[in-house]
Amino acid sequence: MLTMASEKPILYSYFRSSCSWRVRIALALKGIAYDVVPVNLLKDGGEQFSAEFKAVNPMQQVPVLKIDGITLSESLAIIHYLEDTRPNPRLLPQDPKKRAQVRMIADHIAAGIQPIQNLSILNKIGEKKMEWAQNCVVSGFQALEQILQHTAGRYCVGDEVSMADLCLVPQVANAERFKVDMGPYPTITRINKALLELEAFKVSHPSRQPDTPAELRA
C-alpha cells in the first residue's frame, strides 16, 4: 500500500531541458501541483555539477522529482511512477500492442536520439556540435517518421495522448533549436502541432517556466 507524503512534489528542472519538459507535461496532464527548483545547466559551467545537486542526482542531470518521500531521476522512470500512482488520465493504452508501441517510440527518442545530442556530449564535440546534433536528430526522425506512419492516429499511437507524445514534442523543439529541416517529416510535424494545442503542453512549454529568461518568454 502506497503511503502518500503530504508535501508538494519538487521538480528540479531547466526551462529548455527536453527531459524536464517530458515530466512537466505528465504533471500537467495528471493535474499534479508541484514546486520548481531551477537548475541552470549553463550558468558558471552548469549548476548540475555542484556538490549540492550531485547529492540530489549523482548523474548530474535534470529532471529530478521529489515525490511521496522518494527522489527519482530519469524522466521515463518518473513518468512511469506517476502513471502507477496517479493513473488518470492514463498515459499508456490498455491494449498490450499499443502499449508496446508507445514504449517503443518513447525509447526511440529517450534512448536513441536525445542522449547522443545531450548538452554534455555537444560540449565534447566542440565546433562541429550543430552538425553533430542535426545528424543525430535526422537519423532518428527518418526512422520515427516511418514508425509513426503505422502507429499514429491524431497522436503518436492512435488518438490518445501517451508517453510517446510526451517525448515527441520536446524532441521536436530540440530539432528546431538545432535548425533541422522538418520538411521530410510531415507526420511528426502534424502530431507535434496537434499536441501543442493542448493546455498541458502549453503550460509546461520552455517559454513559460519560472526560470525562462525574459527574452524567451511567451
Ligand X SMILES: N[C@@H](CCC(=O)N[C@@H](CS)C(=O)NCC(=O)O)C(=O)O
Sheet holding 10-13, edge to edge: 35-38, 10-13, 64-67, 70-73
22 contacts: CB under 8 Å, gap ≥ 6: 63, 75, 76, 79, 110, 166, 167, 170
Closest distance between ligand X and the C-beta of residue 28, in Å? Answer: 17
In the complex with ligand X, the residue whose CB is nearer, 93 or 170, is: 170
Dihedral over Cα of 139, 144, 150, 154: its sign = negative
Collapsed DSSP state (helix, strand, coil) of residue 113: coil
In the complex with ligand X, the residue whose CB is nearer, 23 or 148, is: 23
Closest distance between ligand X and the C-beta of residue 171, in Å? Answer: 10
Q: Are 79 and 161 in contact (CB under 8 A)?
A: no
In the complex with ligand X, the residue whose CB is nearer, 183 or 213, is: 213
Write out the residues near ligand X by the rule CB under 6 A: 17-19, 41, 46, 48, 61-63, 74-76, 110, 118-120
Closest distance between ligand X and the C-beta of residue 67, in Å? Answer: 15
Size of the chain in residues: 218
Closest distance between ligand X and the C-beta of residue 189, in Å? Answer: 22
In the complex with ligand X, the residue whose CB is nearer, 104 or 194, is: 104
C-alpha–C-alpha distance, residues 184 and 187, integer Å: 9
